[in-house]
Each structure stands twice: as structure tokens, then as C-alpha cells.
């Protein structure tokens, strides 16, 4: 294929893929299979690799992501991103309309839209191509998240139309549909990672991921709700929204033009009744004056436009009776009280449990048995009790007090001074705590033993096959085959059957066997030493080279390792003082786990370029993250310290370094060097 043919083919494939993408993500009406789509995409990828000169920034191949951004650039908005005044009352909406009438004497129309509960984004297009996507930030400046946004299928990367302004900005909301949210949390639960509380947090967390290929897997979606710029096709909002639809943006079908406030109120009522059936979260509706000239005449208050307002729906409440309190014991021994309720329908789902957070919250509500309570389902997964109807309480109702002993193992609970949480101190034999330790041990970033999630650990503990992490290495095929149990998911309430069939058992045993090859730094992390995270474990492993060396070090020696402070050092010492832990380690050693770094390369640090030099690294850097810089310091024989003293040799300063540090460095006459100087020093 010659160059010209390649260019034409690339254009043709781009056009086809954009069209199919639009059919799939915006119209929700695909005409080809996923497989056929992937084949076209692969063909385009191949051609772009062969003829990179024809790869455009708005090519459909950009959607798979891959670019890793260390720190998002801060960008100033061309048009400030304002927020809206809001109200929960229909009377106030009437007042809003009356205020408009005072300024606008002729007739006017409103545009009513859903108020999507996601993250606001400004999408800039130049000559039809998406060039920049910026978050709201403080309204004046936001983060440039273009690479991440390009992975969202319902956002066009290229717009082709004959009435397109040379440059325009689309205001839109990025959100995570319920389906994707549930899927993501299920995956997180499997990997023993913390869950997102609601779809909004999940969308926001996803947009801030550094690796855009991970964002591509999060199934985010986007509704456009505004068009800004010069030479726009129309001088009114509703008509421009129709234009956006024509240009390939996803605009909600529920957007409606209303001729007066009565029609607006009707719209609000209609949306409210459909709200729980929508496949994404909304928290209200937005009402905007349609005509741009009228918008201009109405202008702005110091904070909000006078031509728009949002009407928010109250979080849905239900009234029911409290029947009991259950106490959940977490992996760290933390006790969470949960209210058990007579089932009640709230916001389309049956609520049977509500979170009570801690003893203080329970005390604040002054709960008594069989109290009538109001439960509310906000944006969170778990509903909460917001109020007690004390008027309905029987005079002899008994007050509920927080438990004094662990409901799982009976040990007396502890509460540290100044903390709201009660703990069960029995870390060794309290079943949920054992389970927590094992779940951590097998998790992806630790030993990565797949196949044991989804409640299987619980089954093994209940069958007394394992009591601690080392017991995993004694498990036999015959012991596992045929085990089964019905488990109820705490979050979704769904029941599922856990069974150990032949294939599962083989997979589990293979995964356990394979874990014997996992590197020492991950084994160290997997041991679950309190406060010792992934990075700390890495540093320790590299510094000491073996578990034996770590066990033979005292508190002061541990403190010499970068990143290891008194809290971690203390926790390491007490971990290895505990006989029970030593027995487990011994067993793991015999099982054949890696207790040494692969090759203990004792490079004499004296020969390294930064040997003997002490650095304070501060601020934000252009080419590296702060952690990377610190790692480079160590790899080159230097030492990181956190505060400047007369013993500091260099202060490595990035942007936004604190003025106090700067002053101190000057006072002590310590050279302040840049990232560039530093790279020169080590190269």
C-alpha cells in the first residue's frame, strides 16, 4: 500500500469507526458486533503504526488510552465555569419566575434539563477536533484531563458539520451509569480494595486516574448541556442543544422547552416520578432561560447566573421500625453498628439495614428498641437513619447501648481516647480479623492468589481448614473438593452459592503454588504488618535484602530506612516479637516462599554519585513524581530526609515549594537545586 492509499484508508476507517462509535454510545443502537468493531479498530491501529505521519490526535485509536499523566496541568477556563443557585421548594421557583418577570417584560421560554450527578467538564473543539477537556476546578482554573476524557465513547473526538464554528466549547457532565458502578464495585470487592461510596465519587476518581487505559475500562458516559463560543448556530439554548445532538453529542431526551413556570412545575413532577428508573443518578432539574439575549440582560449575582436555577429533589425518606442492632467486625477489628429494620421501600429499593457509623452516632440518635425511624437514601449505597419519632415510642421502651464485647469472639472491646471507633483487640483468633488478614495476604498487590475471593476464604475458615496465612500452604485437593455454602452479599443483599468444584480447586492450588515465586518485597507486604504499606515494604526489602536481616534489626536500624518512621518501625518490632507471628513465618519459610530479594546486589553505595548526600525533596516536579525523585535519590546513594537542618546537603525544589522551607534553606545556606540540576547530577 502506498502513502496515498494508506491516507485514504485511514480516513475511511476513521469515518466508519466514528459512526459506529456514535451508534453504540450515543444512540445506544449498534449496527455491527463488538468483534467487527475491534477488527476495524485493529486495522486502523496497524495502518497508523505503519504510517505514523497520518495518525491524528482525534483518531478513534486514541480512545483505548495508554498515555500515563503524572500530574494534570492546571488550565484557565476561557469562560468561567459557574455553579447554580438551588432550591428545594416550589414556592422559591415561583419567586425565581417573578424576579425574571421584573427584568423581562416580553415573553420568554425556559429550558428544563436533568441535573446530572457527576463531574462537570468543559470540552474545547477547534476545527472540529476535541483539543482540550478541563474539569471545573474552582470555576476559574481546572485540571486538563483530555487524555482520560478521550476514552469516553459518547464524547466525539471529531465533529464534522458544515455549520461548525471554528472554535467552541461544550459544557457537559461526565458520570458513571449504575450498571458500570455496580460492576466496578464488585470487581473492587473481589480484589479486596475499598469500594466507591456512590457513582459520582467513582466518576471523579476515574477521571483522576493517571493511566488513561484504566479510565477506558471504567465505562464512563457523558451528557452535553451547554454550548459556548462565538458564531454559534443559534442565539438560544434549546436550539443549540438540538445542534449538539446533530453534531453527535449525547443530549438527554428528557430535555424540554417550557413556555411558563406551570409547565416547569409539571416537568419537575414528571421527572420525579421517573427518577428512580433512570440508569444514572440525578439530583434535581436545571431550569434555564432559553434566549441568550434575555440571559445577558438578566446577568449574574456575585456567584450565580440570574437566568438559571436548579431544583433539587429531597433525598427520599421512608418510615419504619427498628428491630435490632447488629455489630459488624471489620478486618482491623473495628466495630460498626448496623440498624436492622422492618423492610421499607425507599427510592425504589427495599431497605432492611441502615448504617449507624459508631457509638457516638447511636448516642446522638438516642435509639430505643422498636423506635419508629426515618431512613434516607442519599447518594450512598447504604441508607442512614436521620431521625427518630420519639412521640411514637412506648414509655417502657428500653434504650439501646453499644455492645461491650466483640459479637464474634466475645473479647472486651477497646476504644482509644479521642477516637470514635470501638475495636476488638483479639487480632489473632477473632474470625473476621483472621479473614481480613488472609484476604490481604492473597490480594492482587500482595501474593496475588486468584480464585480464593468471593467468600471462599470464609468457607475455609468455617470448615476449620485455615486459621492463618500459613495454613493456605497445607491445603489439599481432597479437603477442598465439594465444599459449598450459600453466602449473602452485605451490600447488594443478593445470595450466591460458593462451591469448590474440580476446576476451581485445581485453580486455587495452582495459584497457591505459584505464589511461592512472588518476590520478597511483596511477601513482606503480604504479611500484614500494621502500618507497613506497599512502598514501605519495598524500601525495607531492598535495604535489608532478606527477612532474616529485618528480623535481626532493632528499632534504630529500621529508622535509617527512608520512609520508615517511628510508627512503622515500632509496629515491625512488635510484629517480630510476637511468637505466634514467628511460628507463621517459620511455616511460610518451610513452604518455600521468597524471603530474600532475588540478588542481593550490595553495590557499594560509596561509588554512587550521591553517596553520603542528604536531600530534602519538596514541591511538584515537571518530569517526575515526588516519589520517583526520592527513589532516584536513594538509587544513587543519597538519603532523603523530610525537614531541612544544617546536615542537609541539597534542597531539591519543585514548583509550589513552601515559602518556609525556602527561607530556612537560605538561612542555613543550603543549595536549592532544580529537577534539571538534579538529573544532571546523577547522569
- Alpha-helical runs (H) found in 152-207: 178-190, 199-207
Of 82 and 573, the one with the shorter C-beta distance to ligand IVH is 82
β-sheet bridge partners, residue 114: 285
Which listed residue (116, 280, 311, 525) binds ligand IVH by CB under 6 A?
116
C-alpha cell at 387: 431521625
Of 137 and 565, the one with the shorter C-beta distance to ligand IVH is 137
Question: Of residues 480-539, which lie at the interface with ligand IVH (CB under 6 A)?
Answer: none
Return the HEC string of 611-651: CCCEEEEECECCCCCHHHHHHHHHHCCCEECCCCCCCCCEE
Give the binding range for ligand IVH (CB under 6 A) out of 79-87, 270-278, 566-574, 609-617: 79-87
Of 108 and 225, the one with the shorter C-beta distance to ligand IVH is 225
Of 286 and 529, the one with the shorter C-beta distance to ligand IVH is 286
C-alpha cell at 86: 438551588
The label of the residue with cell 434555564 reads 288
Question: Of residues 200-239, which lie at the interface with ligand IVH (CB under 6 A)?
Answer: 225-226
Give the x/- contact pattern for ligand IVH in 152-191, rule: CB under 6 A.
Answer: ---------------------x------------------
Give the binding range for ligand IVH (CB under 6 A) out of 110-118, 482-490, 589-597, 641-649: 110-118
Give the binding range for ligand IVH (CB under 6 A) out of 113-121, 364-372, 541-549, 583-591: 113-121
Of 175 and 621, the one with the shorter C-beta distance to ligand IVH is 175
From the number of C-beta atoms within 10 Å of its C-beta (0-12, 13-18, 19+), residue 417 rates as exposed
Shortest Å distance, C-beta 639 to ligand IVH: 45
Shortest Å distance, C-beta 170 to ligand IVH: 12
Residues in the chain: 683
Of 120 and 446, the one with the shorter C-beta distance to ligand IVH is 120
3-state secondary structure at position 30:
coil
- Do the beta carbons of residue 142 and residue 83 sit within 8 Å? no
- Do the beta carbons of residue 608 and residue 582 sit within 8 Å? no
Instruction: Give residues with Cβ within 8 angstroms of 318, minimum separation 6.
Output: 344, 345, 346, 351, 374, 375, 376, 377
Shortest Å distance, C-beta 372 to ligand IVH: 35
Of 234 and 312, the one with the shorter C-beta distance to ligand IVH is 312
Of 62 and 255, the one with the shorter C-beta distance to ligand IVH is 255
Strand locations in 117-258 (E): 119-126, 129-135, 141-143, 167-175, 221-229, 256-258
Question: Of residues 310-349, which lie at the interface with ligand IVH (CB under 6 A)?
Answer: 310
Which listed residue (137, 165, 233, 305) binds ligand IVH by CB under 6 A?
305
Distance CA 609, CA 637 (A): 7
Shortest Å distance, C-beta 284 to ligand IVH: 8
Site membership for ligand IVH, residue 286 (CB under 6 A): yes
Give the binding range for ligand IVH (CB under 6 A) out of 97-105, 108-116, 583-591, 647-655: 108-116
Q: Cite the active site residues.
A: 115
Which listed residue (20, 63, 77, 115) binds ligand IVH by CB under 6 A?
115
Distance CA 518, CA 589 (A): 13
Shortest Å distance, C-beta 271 to ligand IVH: 12
Distance CA 246, CA 118 (A): 24
- Do the beta carbons of residue 280 and residue 86 sit within 8 Å? no
Residue nearest ligand IVH by beta-carbon distance: 120
Q: Between the CA of residue 502 and those of 125, 442, 478, 506, what are the distances in Å?
A: 56, 21, 10, 6
- In the β-sheet with 86-87, what is the strand arrangement from edge to edge? 86-87, 308-312, 282-289, 110-116, 256-258
Site membership for ligand IVH, residue 136 (CB under 6 A): yes
Which listed residue (227, 244, 289, 308) binds ligand IVH by CB under 6 A?
308
Number of residues located near ligand IVH, criterion CB under 6 A: 15
Distance CA 241, CA 57 (A): 26
Site membership for ligand IVH, residue 113 (CB under 6 A): yes
Shortest Å distance, C-beta 292 to ligand IVH: 12
Where on the chain is the footprint of ligand IVH (CB under 6 A)? 82-84, 113, 115-116, 120, 136, 173, 225-226, 286, 305, 308, 310
Amino acid at each position: 500500500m502506498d502513502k496515498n492509499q494508506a491516507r485514504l484508508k485511514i480516513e475511511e476507517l476513521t469515518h466508519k469507526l466514528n459512526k459506529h462509535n456514535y451508534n453504540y454510545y450515543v444512540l445506544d443502537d449498534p449496527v455491527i458486533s463488538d468483534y467487527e468493531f475491534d477488527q476495524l479498530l485493529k486495522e486502523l491501529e496497524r495502518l497508523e503504526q505503519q504510517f505514523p505521519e497520518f495518525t491524528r490526535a482525534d483518531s478513534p485509536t486514541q480512545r483505548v488510552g495508554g498515555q500515563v499523566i503524572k500530574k494534570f496541568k492546571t488550565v484557565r477556563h476561557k469562560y468561567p465555569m459557574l455553579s447554580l443557585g438551588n432550591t428545594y421548594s416550589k414556592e422559591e421557583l415561583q419567586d425565581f419566575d417573578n424576579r425574571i418577570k421584573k427584568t423581562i417584560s416580553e415573553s420568554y421560554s425556559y429550558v428544563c434539563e436533568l441535573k446530572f450527578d457527576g463531574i462537570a467538564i468543559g470540552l474545547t473543539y477547534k476545527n472540529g477536533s476535541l483539543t482540550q477537556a478541563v474539569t471545573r476546578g474552582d470555576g476559574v482554573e481546572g485540571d486538563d484531563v483530555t487524555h482520560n476524557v478521550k476514552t469516553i465513547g459518547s464524547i466525539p473526538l471529531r465533529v464534522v458539520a458544515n455549520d461548525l464554528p471554528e472554535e467552541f466549547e461544550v459544557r457537559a457532565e461526565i458520570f458513571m451509569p449504575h450498571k458500570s458502578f455496580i460492576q466496578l464495585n464488585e470487581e473492587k470487592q473481589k480484589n479486596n480494595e475499598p469500594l466507591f461510596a456512590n457513582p459520582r465519587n467513582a466518576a471523579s476518581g476515574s477521571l483522576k486516574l493517571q493511566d488513561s487505559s484504566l479510565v477506558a475500562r471504567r465505562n464512563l458516559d457523558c451528557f452535553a448541556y451547554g454550548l459556548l463560543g462565538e458564531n454559534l448556530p443559534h442565539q438560544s439554548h434549546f436550539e443549540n442543544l438540538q445542534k449538539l445532538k446533530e453534531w453527535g453529542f449525547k443530549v438527554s431526551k428528557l430535555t424540554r422547552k417550557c413556555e411558563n413556570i406551570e409547565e416547569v412545575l409539571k416537568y419537575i413532577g414528571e421527572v420525579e416520578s421517573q427518577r428512580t428508573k433512570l440508569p444514572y443518578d440525578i439530583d434535581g432539574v436545571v431550569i434555564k432561560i432559553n434566549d441568550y439575549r434575555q440571559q445577558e440582560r438578566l446577568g449574574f449575582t456575585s456567584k450565580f447566573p440570574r437566568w438559571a436555577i436548579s431544583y433539587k429533589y429531597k433525598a427520599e425518606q421512608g418510615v419504619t421500625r427498628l428491630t435490632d442492632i447488629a455489630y459488624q467486625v471489620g478486618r482491623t477489628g473495628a466495630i460498626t453498628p448496623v440498624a436492622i429494620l422492618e423492610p421499607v421501600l425507599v427510592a425504589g429499593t427495599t431497605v432492611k439495614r441502615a448504617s449507624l457509623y459508631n457509638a457516638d452516632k447511636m448516642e446522638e440518635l438516642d435509639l430505643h428498641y422498636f423506635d419508629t425511624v426515618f431512613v434516607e437514601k442519599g447518594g450512598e449505597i447504604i441508607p442512614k437513619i436521620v431521625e427518630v419519632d420519639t412521640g411514637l415510642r412506648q414509655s417502657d421502651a428500653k434504650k439501646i447501648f453499644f455492645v461491650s464485647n466483640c459479637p464474634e469472639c466475645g473479647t472486651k472491646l477497646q476504644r482509644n481516647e479521642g477516637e470514635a471507633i470501638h475495636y476488638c483487640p483479639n487480632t489473632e483468633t477473632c474470625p473476621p480479623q483472621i479473614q481480613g488478614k488472609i484476604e490481604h495476604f492473597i490480594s492482587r498487590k500482595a501474593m496475588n492468589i486468584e480464585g480464593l475471593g468471593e467468600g471462599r476464604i470464609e468457607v475455609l475458615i468455617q470448615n476449620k481448614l485455615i486459621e492463618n496465612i500459613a495454613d493456605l500452604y497445607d491445603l489439599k485437593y481432597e479437603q477442598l473438593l465439594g465444599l459449598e455454602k450459600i453466602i449473602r452479599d452485605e451490600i447488594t443483599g443478593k445470595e450466591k452459592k460458593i462451591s469448590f468444584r474440580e476446576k476451581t480447586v485445581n485453580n486455587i492450588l495452582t495459584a497457591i503454588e505459584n505464589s511461592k515465586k512472588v518476590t520478597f518485597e511483596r511477601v513482606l507486604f503480604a504479611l500484614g504488618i500494621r502500618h507497613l504499606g506497599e512502598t514501605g515494604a519495598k524500601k525495607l526489602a531492598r535495604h535489608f535484602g532478606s527477612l532474616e536481616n529485618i528480623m535481626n534489626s532493632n528499632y534504630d536500624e529500621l529508622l535509617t530506612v527512608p520512609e520508615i518512621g517511628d510508627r512503622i518501625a515500632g509496629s515491625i518490632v512488635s510484629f517480630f516479637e510476637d511468637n505466634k507471628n514467628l511460628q507463621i513465618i517459620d511455616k511460610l519459610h518451610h513452604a518455600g516462599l521468597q524471603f530474600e530479594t532475588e540478588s542481593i546486589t550490595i553495590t557499594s553505595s560509596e561509588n554512587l554519585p550521591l553517596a553520603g548526600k542528604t536531600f530534602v525533596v519538596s514541591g511538584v516536579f515537571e518530569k517526575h513524581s515526588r516519589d520517583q525523585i526520592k527513589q532516584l535519590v536513594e538509587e544513587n546513594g543519597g538519603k532523603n530526609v523530610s525537614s531541612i537542618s544544617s546536615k542537609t546537603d541539597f534542597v531539591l525544589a519543585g514548583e509550589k515549594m513552601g515559602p518556609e522551607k525556602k527561607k530556612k534553606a537560605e538561612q542555613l545556606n543550603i543549595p536549592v537545586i532544580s529537577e534539571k540540576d538534579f538529573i544532571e547530577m546523577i547522569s
